[in-house]
Amino acid sequence: MKNNTSIWSYLFQPFRFIAGRESLIAGVVVLIALALVGYWSYTFLDGVLDVHMGCLDEQASLLTNASCVFISWAVAVLVFFFTAKILSQSAVRLIDMAGTMAVAKYPFLFAVLIGFIPQIHFCANGLNGLDINALLVYMQENWLWMSIGSGIMAITAIWSIFLMYNAYSISGNLKGTKGIVSFIVALFVAEVISKIVLMLI
């Protein structure tokens, strides 16, 4: 029972065991892994919570994948850090917010790993080249794999949001209604800003 409890704690409450410089180092390792695996599996994390499958016949550069991962993380860190600075009565350290927010991205490793399943990639070639009939046929033929992929991506997003809230709550010492409401607002703002920044570069 103790081992099971410990495993669940590490999976869902990692910030009880890691913070500060250690969390930043571990988090950077997670971000690098996301960029590399995403590059190999044609999967993009182009936003704080976004996951998109790229075209299998058009691989983007590793720099593009890494930029998506690190820019979306940096935007989230800054938004949550300044939100906590404004609302918290405690001292808020940037290194704590940066490290814990990076570690909170680790569930997305499952999302980029499913990118190795070719059946969940559908290349629309933009809205102008989207063939609705071809899309419907493709979804009918690959509905099982696409359902599995969508389910895993939804679970990883919810899991990561849970970890991000814990990271924000612990690093900013914000709990209760103030912590929950400010987290939701900051998450929305971070998602919008990250999308805008990534569209501009």
List strand residue ranges (DSSP E) for the chain, in order: 43-44, 52-53
Which tokens go with 98? 């940066």
Band of residue 127 on the pLDDT scale cut at 50, 70, 90: very low
Q: What is the pLDDT of residues 37-49, one digit of tens each?
A: 999 999 989 899 9
Q: How far apart are CA 79 and CA 48, in angstroms?
A: 11
Band of residue 2 on the pLDDT scale cut at 50, 70, 90: very low
Band of residue 69 on the pLDDT scale cut at 50, 70, 90: very high
In this prediction, residue 130 carries a pLDDT of 56
Average pLDDT in the 104-108 region? Answer: 95
Q: How far apart are CA 1 and CA 144, in angstroms?
A: 35
Q: What is the pLDDT of residues 22-42, one digit of tens each?
A: 999 999 999 999 999 999 999
Average pLDDT in the 162-169 region? Answer: 95
**pTM here?**
0.85
By residue count, the chain amounts to 201
Band of residue 140 on the pLDDT scale cut at 50, 70, 90: confident
Band of residue 74 on the pLDDT scale cut at 50, 70, 90: very high
Give the start-to-end residue ranges of the domains of the chain.
17-200
| Torsion angle of C-alpha atoms 148, 151, 152, 156, degrees rounded to 10 | 170
